[in-house]
Amino acid sequence: MEERKLLHSFLAKSQEGLPPRRMKDSYIEVLLPLGSEPELREKYLTVQNTVRFGRILEDLDSLGVLICYMHTKNHATKMSPLSIVTALVDKIDMCKKSLSPEQDIKFSGHVSWVGKTSMEVKMQMFQLHGDEFCPVLDATFVMVARDSDNKGPAFVNPLIPESPEEEELFRQGELNKGRRIALSSTSLLKVAPSAQERTTIHEMFLSTLDPKTISFQSRVLPPGAVWMETTKLKSLEVCHPQERNIFNRIFGGFLMRKAYELGWATACSFGCSRPFVVAVDDIMFQKPVDVGSLLFLSSQVCFTQNNYIQVRVHSEVASLLSKEHTTTNVFHFTFMSEKDVPLVFPKTYGDSMLYLDGQRHFSSMSVPVTLRKDCLADP
């Protein structure tokens, strides 16, 4: 960190002082040789003989940072004066049910949109099937640039689209920014549910009233349904130095892996069958996690439909010397079970808001997908 403080003189005073970059300047392809390196395969292997998606989340996070360093590369210094950190996982969409641990995986990606101090990164993942690499997932991350010692924002190089396709990607990045602002303004933490959402919650409440009593307090579940509050799982992690980045903070990919694994276990326990991840969205990194912190993860099923399970994982930290807990992340995962799952019902107003938030995230999927075991791309 002392060495990085010396890089302050290389930081731009304004974005206009930085040379423009093209999308191809940050484009990169990385091979994960699972097929040819058995010792590497062990790290990615699940008990079901598939690839651990939590490890893939770690790789995507690292790749997103690397792509941004490619975009902002300063040839005047060997070490970048910028500190690139993950601000948001906007969306990860899966298009394959499970991955083989015996075939090579390829990642590719590039910067697709740039603000003053932030960058949107588009990444794709492919797996070898026969003689060709076939699509597995699409991911969109938002990264932010900080100064050399990660104390404040820093300017990044502007981006110039060079073709109609690149102009469309850049335009989509602007739309994504606007969508995130709009979603934030309509958050259930800020404003009341819509009229339709209020009707939904009231109808669910009425369906749980005991017909034998004339009381709002006597509640019974409809046949085959489950109270949301009974679907919780929790875990605790001690944040060791092994998982730190160069700023002595815990690596964001590690946090995502731990949250995903708890979310997967929650969906598995709830659905009584093996779940497959369909989508990951709206993971906001609100606060960094220091080495030595206690990381508390709490997972809960907050919405179900047919064989889909929407899981919310809440992450908070406390120091070893303090009892004060601070929220660092909220993770949203959409899983698909091998069979239909029970409906979940909220019992309290707080659970009702979690239910509506889960419904919103589920509805934000492009379309409910049917994942494939083969490698053919969806239409």
95 or 265, greater pLDDT = 265
Query: Residue 377: is its pLDDT beyond 50?
Result: no
Query: Residue 78: is its pLDDT beyond 90?
Result: no
Query: Residue 272: is its pLDDT beyond 60?
Result: yes
Query: Residue 265: is its pLDDT beyond 80?
Result: yes
pLDDT of residue 3: 65
Average pLDDT over residues 308-320: 89
pLDDT of residue 376: 32
pLDDT band at 199 (very low <50, low <70, confident <90, very high): very high
How many residues are given for the chain? 379
pLDDT, tens digit, 9 for 90 and up, residues 342-361: 999 999 999 999 999 999 99
- CA dist 114 and 181 (Å) reads 16
pLDDT of residue 333: 93
Average pLDDT over residues 209-227: 82
pLDDT of residue 111: 94
31 or 79, greater pLDDT = 31
Cα–Cα nearest to 86, from 255, 223, 206, 225:
255
Query: Residue 7: is its pLDDT beyond 50?
Result: yes
For the chain, the average pLDDT equals 85
In angstroms, the first-to-last Cα distance of the chain is 49
pLDDT band at 323 (very low <50, low <70, confident <90, very high): confident
158 or 368, greater pLDDT = 158
Average pLDDT over residues 10-29: 87
372 or 243, greater pLDDT = 243
Average pLDDT over residues 219-227: 87
pLDDT of residue 9: 63
Average pLDDT over residues 144-173: 87
pLDDT of residue 364: 80
- CA dist 336 and 358 (Å) reads 14
Q: With contact defined as beta carbons under 8 Å apart, do 157 and 71 qualify?
A: yes
Query: Residue 365: is its pLDDT beyond 80?
Result: no
pLDDT of residue 8: 64
DSSP 191-207: SPPPHHHHHHHHHHHHH
pLDDT of residue 2: 60
Q: Where are the beta strands (DSSP E) in 147-229?
A: 226-227
